[in-house]
Structure 1
Amino acid sequence: MQAGRKTEDDGSSMKIAGRLAVAVVLSVIVVGLFLQMGRKPEKHLYKETRSSLYTLVTITVVGDSPEKARKATSAAYDELDRLGRLLNFYAEDSELSAINRNAGIKPVHVSRDTLEIIKTAVMVGEQTDGGFDVTVGPIVKLWDFKKKILPSAAAITEKLSAVGYENIVVDEVAATVFLKKSGIQMDLGGIIKGFAADKAVQSLKANGIEDGIVAVAGDIKLFGRQPDGRPWNIGIQNPRAEGDKDELFATVNLGTQGISTSGDYQRYFILDGVRYHHLLNPKTGYPESLCRSVTVIAPEAALTDAYATGIFIMGPQKGLAVLERLGMDGVIIDRDGKVLMTKGIKDKVHLL
């Protein structure tokens, strides 16, 4: 066979090779189509902020449909507003007001949500030795942090007689709440934000959302993960930040959990070199000064909200012991700036 001469066999070989090439190209196209059809829609973050419960609430959800995210978020805000009406301290027609009006008179029949939040509040009061107390409202009202005015010792002593979570009777069978002593008033401000965050997350899940964050002011409930599959990363504020009030001192990686921080830097004034803040000891009526801030992490935001306050009042050593005993995590900064952490959280916290 001479070089350059085309034979019949050469033509057949070229035809076969051409058919194979076309077949390979077609198979690649088909495989590509199947991959495209089987690919999951890309997930994004959808965020919305509204006013509810007398504060700003930000709901962040992970999803692939803006319309689905919008509907789920709207339903969650409706749930928050419903709880706000139910547990409003100032509204005369709320269940909480009905309980307060009947203090020392008779038990009041309440809904499941009201029963649940008050039962939780009493339990946290017991576990923190009264550090958290939803009847401390009369004392709180004596303090004016905007005008920087100290209440008189006589006024505080008088109001202390109307403080005591032990006067709250929760009857789960009858679904009633009774305040045993006349003059006792419950204010759920120290737990309602976390409780509401939990309920908002339940609403989001019921509407098909699997990942997201509900932040009711500084009380946060997280669930699922970020769009890329990583855990949520939450910052803890520096209680002695100068200039930039949002400066962080640490971040923590979390999954489906609640997180809350109570600190002496949130509402305060300084008079004659003394820091007076809103975290009052229910037993003395005065601000407690054993800690700068307390961050609590637990499965439920209602617990983190209430325990952050209760642990702050107890102090770093007693508070840390309570968290360890209850299986919850926490980061405590004492009054000297020393950082204490529960054993279970140390590998998740990154100090900045």
Structure 2
Amino acid sequence: RVNAEAAESWVLVGHELFDLIRRSLSLSEQTGGAFDITYDSIGQFYDFNKRARPSPEQVAVGLVAVDYRHVQLDSDKSAAHFSHSGVRINLGGIAKGYAIEGVIGLLRDAGVRHALANAGGDTRVLGDRIGLPWVVGIRDPDDEMSIVTRLEIEDVAISTSGDYEQFFMEEGVRYHHIINPSTGSSAGALRSVTIIGPDATLTDGLSTSVFVMGLDAGMRLIESIPKYSAIIIDENKNAHFSSGVN
């Protein structure tokens, strides 16, 4: 309903959706627009099952609508509005992390001390694995059976964004689902980004953001955020570790 009506009028939204949009816009500001839920103004024209991508004309029109500042929120009414026609939002780059963080919160409130919640490339662990650390692997982008590195974690979230889950090849070019909001094209130069930190909502959003920003800018961002760290695999499949990774 938000995508269908918010450009015409204010749309009432539930508390959780309002909070998720609010947090998304905050992350957009923090990343200089590298994370932008309005990317779907162009992203809607991709269909990876049908190997379809937007035409140059669709990109040109869609880019005008891609700007997180087009999304307005009214906290008193719990309502959202788009200030530009053609805007569409997609919360896929942050919603799974938000969901599993919520699950862990419910379990913690119920007295659970050890748990793991997973949704796709996002995992949130509560406590340790009853005296042992949780062990997670970061896969080779080209071989799901091969592990680049393993991490021992406790009471943190870990999120990975990669170019290998939803993609197609065309004339030697990989088109994948992580869209650079400034170009409307698949973000290049990296193969995967893994973020580790205390909040799954933020690790989820940051993994997408850093993928779009690239190695150097992405690492600078992560180094500026306390308690968060990154493992970045570049286009040559070299692994780069932020200072917070053990």
Q: Is the 8 A contact 2:35 2:208 kept in 1?
A: yes
In 2, the alpha carbon distance for the partners of 1:110 and 1:141 equals: 22
Q: Trace 1:40-119 onto structure 2 (pairs within 5 A).
A: 97=1, 99-119=2-22
Q: Is the 8 A contact 2:162 2:191 kept in 1?
A: yes
- Could you say what secondary structure the match of 1:204 adopts? helix
Equivalent residue in structure 1 for 2:172, among 273, 293, 296: 273
In 2, the alpha carbon distance for the partners of 1:307 and 1:269 equals: 24
In the TM superposition, residue 173 of structure 1 has moved relative to its aligned partner by: 4.3
Does 2:124 match 1:221? yes
Residue aligning to 1:261: 160
In the TM superposition, residue 144 of structure 1 has moved relative to its aligned partner by: 2.2
In the TM superposition, residue 174 of structure 1 has moved relative to its aligned partner by: 4.3
Equivalent residue in structure 1 for 2:191, among 292, 306, 331: 292
In 1, the alpha carbon distance for the partners of 2:15 and 2:177 equals: 30
In 1, the alpha carbon distance for the partners of 2:177 and 2:12 equals: 32
The code of the aligned residue for 1:234 comes to V
CA offsets per residue over residues 321-352 of structure 1, 9 Å max, x none? Answer: 0011112111001112222111011x2xxxxx
Does 2:89 match 1:197? no
Higher-Rg structure is 1
Does 2:242 match 1:342? yes
**Aligned-pair Cα RMSD in Å:** 1.6
CA offsets per residue over residues 131-166 of structure 1, 9 Å max, x none? Answer: 111111131221222222343211211222221111
User: What TM-score does the superposition give when structure 1 sets the normalisation length?
Assistant: 0.66
Residue aligning to 2:89: 186
The code of the aligned residue for 2:184 comes to G
Gaps of 5+ in 1: 1-96, 348-352
Deviates more, 1:304-313 or 1:204-213: 204-213
Equivalent residue in structure 1 for 2:231, among 309, 314, 331: 331
In 1, the alpha carbon distance for the partners of 2:73 and 2:52 equals: 36
- Could you say what secondary structure the match of 2:240 adopts? strand
In 2, the alpha carbon distance for the partners of 1:141 and 1:104 equals: 17
Identity %: 33
Residue aligning to 2:142: 240
User: What TM-score does the superposition give when structure 2 sets the normalisation length?
Assistant: 0.93
Q: Is the 8 A contact 2:45 2:52 kept in 1?
A: no
Equivalent residue in structure 2 for 1:252, among 151, 154, 171: 151
The code of the aligned residue for 2:95 comes to I
Does 2:44 match 1:144? no
Q: Is the 8 A contact 2:62 2:86 kept in 1?
A: no
Gaps of 5+ in 2: none
Moved over 6 A (4+): none
Residue aligning to 1:175: 78
In 2, the alpha carbon distance for the partners of 1:181 and 1:274 equals: 32
Cα distance, 1:155–1:106 mapped onto 2, change above 3 Å: closer
Cα distance, 1:148–1:114 mapped onto 2, change above 3 Å: closer
Does 2:212 match 1:283? no
Relative to its length, the structure with more helix (as a share) is: 1
In 2, the alpha carbon distance for the partners of 1:254 and 1:172 equals: 36
Residue aligning to 1:44: none
